[in-house]
Structure 1
Amino acid sequence: MDDRGTRNGRKAAGHEERRARRHDPQRRERILDAALDVLVADGVAGLTHRKVASRADAPLGSVTYHFASLADLRAQAFAWYVEQRSAEYEALFTEVATREDLVDVLADMVEGGPSRHRSAVLGFELHLAALRDPALRALTQEWTRASRAVLARFTGPETAARLDALLEGMIMHALLSADREPREETRAAIAQTLGPAIGSET
């Protein structure tokens, strides 16, 4: 094959590659997931289009095409987080049948794990960003309403509000503390906030 044939072959291959990359229906969601990863690793101040493009394995131009400004990318990433987290949070309670089940699920939430640690960090990043960006406060309010509505199914609205505040404080303490709180102390604090059981179990 002469040089012209080689160039034509490379051009055709490049065209096929670009066409394959353009046909990527999940790219926007992958970019949002990558933005959340950057927010966990580097915080709001460390979020850049370039970091997100690298994490998403997407062209920089694709990121700026979907999200023209960094503020837009940040807002849509947090909205994506709230949507996902609301569904995940509700799923945690699908098998709760007794008061003890509820206490155990909430204690697990405080103790966390890698996936819950990531979610908690994103939640606190969102709240911190919302202090400085009023446009994000609707998202924090949406998340608070959703989480309290789930808890209220088991506790009623007033207790749900107190329990939600307790959980946020305990989760933050667990993230920052070098020493793990004994599980029984976590369960005791949750049970006290729930109040006395009615009968044997609810």
Structure 2
Amino acid sequence: MPAASGTRQNIVDAVLRIIGQDGIAAVTNRRIAKEAGVSLGSVTYHFATQHDLLRESLLHFVAEETRHFTALADECSDDGLDVRQAVETVAQVAGGGDFDTRRIAPFELYVQAGRDERLRAAAAECFAAYDRLATRILAHLGVPDPEPLAGAVVALVFGQQLRRLATGAPAEDLVDALLVVTAPWTRR
């Protein structure tokens, strides 16, 4: 059996997979134990409540996303960013062509944060990382005063991702929408 920290991480990973596959309502201790390959007692030992499980899962996701988006923002060179590079970065952010459970789970967790104010700080931290990346990309594309526009661009990306999830719309729709928003400052 893995060490305590490994067991805890296995449980968190299992929760994220379950949420992505079947939603938050499917998160039960028995299912988590089975999915994580741990005993039922391990689940309750590491997490006293469902809220603790969801909070830890959201915090884990936020930490990974924050690291990922900070690295992407750092990769945006100070020499400028052309539209193609911006599109490639957005494609990385959007997760490519298919939605896997890792890409679906955040939507569930963010909705849960809307219901549970104790989760909102973690969600806000993740959106701040998204906004920083959007600000950096917009600045490199030549958008003057990009900070006020960054939140709207992040919302557009999330809205398009949700649309893709619900309708199967192609990833290109997201790219097209972003090109429309940045058109005044860029050339296709």
Which residue type is aligned with residue 33 of structure 2? A
Quick check: 1:39–1:46 contact (8 Å CA) kept in 2? Answer: yes
- Gapped runs of 5+ residues in structure 2? 139-145
Q: CA–CA distance in 2 between the matches of 1:158 and 1:195?
A: 17
Which residue type is aligned with residue 143 of structure 1? C
2:48 corresponding residue in structure 1: 68
1:18 corresponding residue in structure 2: none
Q: What is the root-mean-square deviation of aligned Cα atoms in Å? A: 2.4
2:69 corresponding residue in structure 1: 89
Q: CA–CA distance in 2 between the matches of 1:131 and 1:105?
A: 28
Inter-CA distance 162–179: structure 2 relative to 1 (3 Å threshold): closer
Structure 1 outlier segments of 4+, above 2 Å: 21-25, 88-97, 107-114, 116-120, 178-181, 185-188, 194-198
1:192 corresponding residue in structure 2: 180
Which residue type is aligned with residue 153 of structure 2? L
Is residue 124 of structure 2 the alignment partner of residue 136 of structure 1?
Answer: no
2:148 corresponding residue in structure 1: 158
Inter-CA distance 62–110: structure 2 relative to 1 (3 Å threshold): closer
Quick check: 2:130–2:154 contact (8 Å CA) kept in 1? Answer: yes
Quick check: 2:12–2:56 contact (8 Å CA) kept in 1? Answer: yes
What is the deviation of 1:30?
1.2
Is residue 123 of structure 2 the alignment partner of residue 123 of structure 1?
Answer: no
TM norm structure 2: 0.81
Query: Comparing 97-106 with 53-62, which one deviates more in the overlay?
Result: 97-106
SS at match of 2:170: coil
- Listed as ranges, the matches of 1:54-65 within 5 Å are 54-65=34-45
What is the deviation of 1:154?
2.6
Which residue type is aligned with residue 90 of structure 1? T
Is residue 18 of structure 2 the alignment partner of residue 38 of structure 1?
Answer: yes
What is the deviation of 1:24?
4.8
Q: CA–CA distance in 2 between the matches of 1:25 and 1:173?
A: 37
TM norm structure 1: 0.76
SS at match of 1:26: helix
2:168 corresponding residue in structure 1: 178
The count of residues paired between Structure 1 and Structure 2 equals 177
Q: CA–CA distance in 1 between the matches of 2:64 and 2:95?
A: 20
Quick check: 2:73–2:132 contact (8 Å CA) kept in 1? Answer: no
What is the deviation of 1:37?
0.9
Which residue type is aligned with residue 150 of structure 2? A
Higher RCO (C-alpha 8 Å, min separation 6): 2
Q: CA–CA distance in 1 between the matches of 2:66 and 2:169?
A: 29
Quick check: 2:15–2:27 contact (8 Å CA) kept in 1? Answer: yes
Quick check: 2:15–2:32 contact (8 Å CA) kept in 1? Answer: yes
Q: CA–CA distance in 2 between the matches of 1:166 and 1:179?
A: 14
Inter-CA distance 25–130: structure 2 relative to 1 (3 Å threshold): closer
Q: CA–CA distance in 1 between the matches of 2:39 and 2:174?
A: 46
Pair member with larger Rg = 1
Inter-CA distance 193–30: structure 2 relative to 1 (3 Å threshold): same
Tell me which of 29, 33, 36 is aligned to 1:53.
33
What is the deviation of 1:22?
6.8
